[in-house]
Amino acid sequence: MGDSGQMVEVQGEKSVAVDSGTRHNLRAASTNQQDGTMLAVGNSGTAIELYEDHKHKTINLSTRENLRAVSWRPGENSALIAGNAGTLLSYSQSSVESVAGARANLRRISWRPNGHDAVVTSNCFAEEFIPSPNLFAFDPGRNSLSPVNEGRADFIGADWKADGSAAFVVGYDIIWHNGYMGIFDGEHLSSIAFENRRVYPVAVSWNRSTDNAVIATATTQPEMGQGMLYVWNGVTPEPVFKSAKFFFSSVRWNHDGTEFAALASSATRTFNC
């Protein structure tokens, strides 16, 4: 899935091009575990439902903002969609509702495993450097968004632990270019110490089998920072891979927690993640 509406289904060593029905750049996708429906979103308010037979349906979301993230609610037939300029939409196959409360670009969504709430990451400035919360909590029962943290870091990646006790949050200070990693317990955010100068964390994934997480980094521009992978063991983030050429946009453990996959490109930049 990527630029100009490109979408590919990978089956083992084979890949098959899938007609997405759009030429807009696609930026995120999520699969409904209830029925296998995939929801893909992208630039200019693009949203598409794709079914297991590769048929697709374009959804009118009544926004032209670039959409960055989408995630189906666990155990439900509803999803949350996030994008630029504080765009947050609660979507089901019968309705679309706007969720107020944010102004800056929203970056990622992570549902707590029980599906009772979600965290939404955000840039720390809206419009022309207007301070904005960088982390929100979403309540699906009230369809409401509440700020839970403010600061001068853009928060990008987030992922809840399998038992729902904590969410790992990553991003970077846009003034001093220091990386940020932290743990959100549902009420408070606590920083994790690490060598963070010129480090730009953009994605994180908890291991579902053990208490560790993998964190991936990108860069803001060439010759600044490296593409790195860290494994956090509950105490310290340990670097396990680095590259001056390739920068990461996403990372994910497999279901068994035996290995993870990370997506990288020489063109990846933090603002695109």
Determine what percent of the chain is predicted with pLDDT higher than 70: 99
pLDDT in tens, 146-174: 999 999 999 999 999 999 999 999 999 99
Say if CB 233 and CB 213 are below 8 A apart: no
- Write down the mean pLDDT value for the chain: 93
Give Cα 239 to chain centroid, integer Å. Answer: 21
Within 10 angstroms of residue 142's Cβ, the number of other Cβ atoms is 9
Beta partners for 50?
38, 56
Q: If you average pLDDT over residues 236-253, what whole number do you get?
A: 96
Domains of the chain, with CATH numbers? 73-272 (2.130.10.10)
pLDDT in tens, 136-146: 999 999 999 99
pLDDT in tens, 63-92: 999 999 999 999 999 999 999 999 999 999
| CA–CA gap between residue 149 and residue 267 (Å, rounded) | 30
| CA–CA gap between residue 163 and residue 250 (Å, rounded) | 22
Confidence check: pLDDT of 18 > 80: no
What dihedral do alpha carbons 269, 100, 26, 110 form, nearest 10°? 70
Q: Residue 1: which pLDDT band, with cuts at 50, 70 and 90?
A: low
Confidence check: pLDDT of 22 > 90: no
Tokens of 162: 């399998």
Determine what percent of the chain is predicted with pLDDT higher than 90: 78
Residue 29 DSSP symbol = E
Confidence check: pLDDT of 109 > 70: yes
Full-model pTM: 0.94
**Nearest CA-CA partner of 153 in 112, 191, 193, 99:** 191
Confidence check: pLDDT of 265 > 90: yes
Q: If you average pLDDT over residues 110-137, what whole number do you get?
A: 94
Instruction: Report the pLDDT value the prediction gives residue 129, as an integer from 0 to 100.
Output: 85
